[in-house]
Amino acid sequence: MKHAGAECLDALEPVLAQLRTIEGLRERKRGAFYRGSIGFLHFHEDPEGPFADLKKNGDFVRMRVRTRAEIATLIREAKRAAAEA
- Domain ranges, ordered by start, for the chain: 2-84
Rounded-to-integer distance, Cα 55 and Cα 19, Å: 14
State if pTM tops 0.85.
yes
Write the pLDDT tens digit of every residue in 9-55.
Answer: 999 999 999 999 999 999 999 999 999 899 999 999 999 899 999 99
Q: What is the pLDDT of residue 63?
A: 96
CB 74 within 8 A of CB 63: yes
Q: What is the pLDDT of residue 71?
A: 97
